[in-house]
Structure 1
Amino acid sequence: MNFLPSISHKNLSKSSLQTNNYNLEYWHKKNRYYYESIESLYRFLVPSGQRVLEIGAGTGSLLNAVQPSYGVGIEIVPEVCQSAQEKFPHLYFKTADIEDTETEETFDYVILSDTISYFEDIQKAFKQIRSVCTDSTRLIISFHNPVWNPILQLALFLKQKMPTVPLNWLSYQDTSNLLELSGFEIIQHGSKVLLPKKFPIIAPFLNRFISPLPVFNKLGLVNFIVARLSPYESRIKYQNRLKTCSVIIPARNEAGNIESCVTRLPKMGEHTEIIFIEGHSQDNTWDEIQKVQAKYGETIDIKILQQTKRGKGNAVREGFAIATGDILIILDSDLTVRPEDLPHFFETLASNRCEFANGCRLIYPCSKEAMPLLNLLANRFFAFLLSYLIDNRIKDSLCGTKAISKVNYQKIADNRKYFGDFDPFGDFDLLFGASKLNLHISDIPVRYYPRTYGRSNIQHFKEGLLLLKMCLYAAKKIKFY
């Protein structure tokens, strides 16, 4: 089994990177049959004699196996990169991190084997990969099937798998969504390798003849996807530059976070405005908002107001009412979702890849401090329930970061009489409204962090019952109508 990443996560320390990769050859030999199976898959998907870029090249064996006319491997660890170059002098290896790398070269094929689970920001990496693609380039990705997680944990216990950092465990649906959001379209996909250990006769028979059969073709250890650049990518880039953005920030007892909301927020599109809505705080949040507006107002468009009623839902609506941007984004002022992630929402809406962007905190690893087990279980329950109600799969129902175009928000507001004023949070009014209008809804992965200032305003048990009541009400209006 694989069981070593060929590219390492940014958050790993240098010493742990070196320790893991010094053993890479050992793990490659220990799981030779698995790696040979991967090489066989890529030789089938990549014709020989092509210009090939491998991201997370590791030992360089896979890049060599596809027999490129010009092969480049990117690897984040210098020692591993140097070792691969010595082993395969006819190929070119360089130390780099694809999330921060730009190049003017283009390739016929870009391959990533067991790599994307280690990216810090998968969307950013995919967008960087676009720069090396032409209209005819094929992107090939392989990654572990999540149904194998228990077996991989057992392999780790039995020392058949190398210890790694927490991974982004991605399903096919997760990866497909990320590719679509990043400007790629999928050509084909599948799974391979039912038995990753070498058992003469049995393993070849299962992997060659049983693996492609219905049902079994969803159970392989390795998921793979072949994708290409969307044909509308050039037009989309131009459209994005012309759009404007409004970021609505409800704030209650968040004085310590207000300035960071402004200083950490990237500029998006042609113009970005920030709208703070203060909601009856017991600390000096309103004073801090006024100070921040006075400090940064000459260079940043900052609007401020105090909400007239109570609840986040009312705050969001009052903020949307004065927003002038083409794209409207909600950012929670506790900063558990990074302002730096908002461009993903903006670009997805501006490019019309989706019409309602729902923040998803359950793709990337999340600490128990940020999301305790009870919260995680409740989130998954409500995500399952809401996915059923709106006939659209969402993975995270309770993330406060959401985005919609001003035009589509106005349609929801005009149709609000259908549901009535049932949502004190604001999130579900938008989600159910978007579903009722048949808008294209997509999850946008974000990283989720513990708050660094103040305490949560959430009352878990009380609000959990309220959420359940809202779901039952929505079921009557959009499922059992």
Structure 2
Amino acid sequence: MSHQKLSIVMPVYNEAATLRTALERLLAVEMPLPTEVVVVDDGSSDGCTDLVADLVDGERVRLVRQEPNQGKGRALVRGFAEARGDLLTILDADLEYDPRDIPTLCQPVLDGEAKVVYGARSYGGHAAYSFWFVLGNKLVAVWASMLFDAWLTDVETCLKLAPTAMWREVDIRSSGFGIEAEVTGKLLARGERIFEVPISYRARGREEGKKIEWTDGVEALWILLRIRLGRRRRSRR
């Protein structure tokens, strides 16, 4: 498939400290395709999107607001619906991910080697938020690999790239961080092979606004199992 345009969905909730820098860094990257950024303000109360108003032009950068706050999953689903490109990825506004990795993410798709590409994090130095954070991420990856007879090293990565139509077809229901496990489980359940490329990563701590909790890891394990059991029931019909 020949792709014509890349959409990058950036979900935002109270990111006044980082949004401007994140968006400027993203816009400075030379992308392999014409690119639009869809910023989805998920009911922020800190005025963060006012800080990037001068960068919003309705074409290269578009701003969508939804009220009240509905969670990352709902913000992303709104971004998928608003996207105008035929290839889509996600970039959080918290500076944990480097937008310079996005062209690397695109390359296997543009070369015809894959349809779905994940940016896989390696944990060391600034990437290791905590022992339990790393262990939890590895556990979720092993669990998904075992359930779907695949091999993945990073399910919870933000940098996931797939055709826009595919993002819409998987019909995401999770409103929060469960979206990462849900989209992975549903892609694997429909037989998609996920291509991984290494990316850089700098984890922020609680004092910097880290929002994910251990309960999100437990939810991810349950979501993956539920999708796997659902596929088994359908195959028996």
TM bucket by the smaller chain? 0.7 to 0.9
1:352 counterpart SS class:
coil
Q: Specify every segment of 5 or more residues in structure 1 that has no aligned partner in the other structure, as ranges.
A: 1-235
Distance 1:373 1:328 in 2: 32
The correspondence for 1:258, drawn from 10, 16, 19, is 19
Residue 116 of structure 2 aligns with an amino acid whose one-letter code is F
Residues 468 and 270 of structure 1: is their aligned pair in 2 closer, same or farther, counting only changes over 3 Å?
Answer: closer
After superposing on structure 2, the runs of 4+ consecutive aligned residues of structure 1 that deviate more than 4 Å are none
Q: Specify every segment of 5 or more residues in structure 2 that has no aligned partner in the other structure, as ranges.
A: none
Cα deviation, residue 395, structure 1: 0.3
Show the 5 A alignment for 1:233-252: 243-252=4-13
Deviation string, structure 1 residues 205-259 (Cα, Å, up to 9, x no partner): xxxxxxxxxxxxxxxxxxxxxxxxxxxxxxx9xx5xx631000001112122222
1:472 counterpart SS class:
helix
- Give the conservation status (yes or no) of the 8 Å contact 1:246–1:274: yes
- RMSD, aligned α-carbons: 2.5
Deviation string, structure 1 residues 150-197 (Cα, Å, up to 9, x no partner): xxxxxxxxxxxxxxxxxxxxxxxxxxxxxxxxxxxxxxxxxxxxxxxx
Structure 1 residue 455 corresponds to structure 2 residue 196: no
Distance 2:33 2:97 in 1: 23
Distance 1:423 1:471 in 2: 15
Residues 430 and 461 of structure 1: is their aligned pair in 2 closer, same or farther, counting only changes over 3 Å?
Answer: closer
Distance 2:219 2:49 in 1: 28
- Higher RCO, 1 vs 2 (CA within 8 Å, ≥6 residues apart): 2
User: What's 2:72 paired with?
Assistant: 312
Structure 1 residue 435 corresponds to structure 2 residue 196: no
Show the 5 A alignment for 1:322-471: 322-362=82-122, 366-367=124-125, 370-413=128-171, 421-422=173-174, 424-425=176-177, 426-451=179-204, 454-458=208-212, 460-471=213-224
Distance 2:46 2:61 in 1: 21
Structure 1 residue 273 corresponds to structure 2 residue 31: no
Count of aligned positions? 229
Residues 350 and 447 of structure 1: is their aligned pair in 2 closer, same or farther, counting only changes over 3 Å?
Answer: same
TM-score, length of structure 1 as denominator length? 0.44
Distance 1:349 1:451 in 2: 30
User: 384-393 or 432-441: which moved more?
Assistant: 432-441
Cα deviation, residue 457, structure 1: 1.7
TM-score, length of structure 2 as denominator length? 0.85
Residues 337 and 393 of structure 1: is their aligned pair in 2 closer, same or farther, counting only changes over 3 Å?
Answer: same
Distance 1:349 1:285 in 2: 33
Distance 2:165 2:174 in 1: 22
Larger gyration radius, structure 1 or structure 2: 1
- Give the conservation status (yes or no) of the 8 Å contact 1:356–1:403: yes
User: 344-353 or 332-341: which moved more?
Assistant: 344-353
Residues 479 and 324 of structure 1: is their aligned pair in 2 closer, same or farther, counting only changes over 3 Å?
Answer: same
